[in-house]
Amino acid sequence: MIRLIGGEMPGWNEDRPPAGGALYGYLTDQLPAGSRVLVAGPHDPALIEALAARTAVTCLVRSQPEAERLDARGLDVLCGTLTKLTDADRWDAVVALDGVGRLCSVEGPQYDWTECLRALRNVLLPGGLLLLTVENELGVHRLVDPAAATVALTDDAWRPLGEFDDSRPGSPARLADRLATEELALDWLGAAWPSPAAPTLVATADALLTGPAGALSAAAASAVASAYADRAVLSDPRRLAAAAVRAGLGPELAPAWLVLARLAPAPPATGAPETATPLRLPPVLLGDGPPAGPLPTGRLLEELLLTACLRHDLPAVRGLLTGWMAAVPDAGPENVVVAGETFTKLDPGVPPRADVLRCFATTLLTGGYAHPWPAATDLRTLTAILHAAAGLPGDQPAIPTDEDPPIPNSRRDQEEQLRSLRRLLADAEARAEVYEQEIAKRDAELTKARVQIAAFGGSFGYRMAKLGYGVARKARQRLRKRA
């Protein structure tokens, strides 16, 4: 059933996909069965349906065509702008995993972030839960985006405030403060990668601080690697995400924060037992839920290799290459964790590859990383050197010609490749000039030598005989012509 609450947009379809994905599905699955839930803003229909199978769901959307599609699925829908939502109806939980940016329509007041939060809080029953995604305007996804958030690119950007909405919390600590101001107690806060719309990794600040930093930074890099394959970016988000996690800045630079907050419960009747059990969410969510086992300790092989290359630490590079090729030669360096002498696959589910050394050579070359073999500027030579440095047999390995896995298309890498090509060209031109001078010098020497050979070659008698033979040959030719 659709209830039009006012401010709905009749001909409007959202131009960006709704929040969704398996990890969000896991989170909504944790809401208590049988509760009444308001799903505010656009969400993946699959996620809504899964939730509706366990709870009583009401959807709030501004797009009327979207409301009709949800209604056709048999869902209860409120269609209109957030500012028209009243506290006449209240829910046990509000799910706003799309954030609050798509709750106000073009009609009526345009709430800022805090006002949106207050409006959602006002429709919670005492003790009610708020599951909210907050985009970080300083998140990795923003830092690498070639387009600024304040550039109005899409039809829904009728008020592109970006980082200029001062009511938005700029850090996890400020987010907790804003929630507290609205009497919302923070039960759980997780930093999310690679995007607010569909995170595949969420970790609490405590997990990021005390957990295995290597595996978590690797997971952050891997999450952004999948999301940014072949996408245009300013700089490589994999390195930025991993470096932030390693530096203890994971939560501050994550693309989004997910919070589970609870409105203060009604004061219990005197002597009545506390019935609500607090909802406990895991410290780390990976893919579609908590990881199957403990995360491996150690550092990501790719990062160790790059570090050793940048240090020009040849013994370390050779040790890592040799250990890698002996233990897991079919896993890319971005999927191998190294702890001491042990090389383990981070995700055993990734299909094996035969071209991992070539892929690492590509990383070194396209990323413009300094490495111990700077004169090897072509992929084939560098791959062959890595092959030899890994202690593998054969001087010229058959280098697989499969396509490299898609990686972020970074503006910084392009700049570096341009610089590198200019360097190569300048070197080649300088060499050609040296060669030309050398040829001119040797030509002069050769000419001199020929003159000397002609002048002094052979004895007097030999030269006379040669002269006579030449005269005789010419005379014979003349006689033949006459005949």
Could you say whether residue 326 binds another protein (CB under 8 A)?
no
Q: Which of 293, 315, 348, 351 binds another protein (CB under 8 A)?
A: 315
Could you say whether residue 73 binds another protein (CB under 8 A)?
no
Could you say whether residue 372 binds another protein (CB under 8 A)?
yes
- Closer to another protein by Cβ: residue 380 or 450: 380
- Closer to another protein by Cβ: residue 15 or 427: 427
Q: Which of 31, 389, 408, 410 binds another protein (CB under 8 A)?
A: 389
- Least distance in angstroms from the C-beta of 324 to another protein: 16
Q: Which of 312, 422, 442, 450 binds another protein (CB under 8 A)?
A: 312
Could you say whether residue 380 binds another protein (CB under 8 A)?
no
Q: Which long-range contacts (CB under 8 A, 24 or more apart) does 162-169 make?
A: 162/137, 163/137, 163/138, 165/112, 165/113, 166/112, 167/112, 167/113, 167/114, 167/115, 168/112, 168/113, 168/134, 168/137, 169/113, 169/134
What mask, x for binding another protein by CB under 8 A, covers residues 422 to 441? -xx-xxx-xx--x-------
- Closer to another protein by Cβ: residue 287 or 372: 372
Could you say whether residue 442 binds another protein (CB under 8 A)?
no
- Least distance in angstroms from the C-beta of 368 to another protein: 13
- Least distance in angstroms from the C-beta of 318 to another protein: 8
- Least distance in angstroms from the C-beta of 185 to another protein: 56
- Closer to another protein by Cβ: residue 273 or 394: 394
- Closer to another protein by Cβ: residue 159 or 431: 431
- Least distance in angstroms from the C-beta of 353 to another protein: 23
Stretch that binds another protein, among 64-72, 339-347, 379-387, 440-448 (CB under 8 A): 379-387
Please classify residue 385 by burial: count the beta carbons closer than 10 Å to its beta carbon, then call 0-12 exposed, 13-18 middle and 19+ buried.
middle
Q: Which of residues 95-124 bind another protein (CB under 8 A)?
A: none
Number of shown-chain residues binding another protein (CB under 8 A): 26
Could you say whether residue 368 binds another protein (CB under 8 A)?
no
- Closer to another protein by Cβ: residue 370 or 464: 370
Q: Which of 235, 388, 399, 404 binds another protein (CB under 8 A)?
A: 388
Could you say whether residue 419 binds another protein (CB under 8 A)?
no
Could you say whether residue 339 binds another protein (CB under 8 A)?
no
**Site residues for another protein per CB under 8 A:** 312-315, 372-375, 381, 384-385, 388-389, 391, 393-396, 423-424, 426-428, 430-431, 434
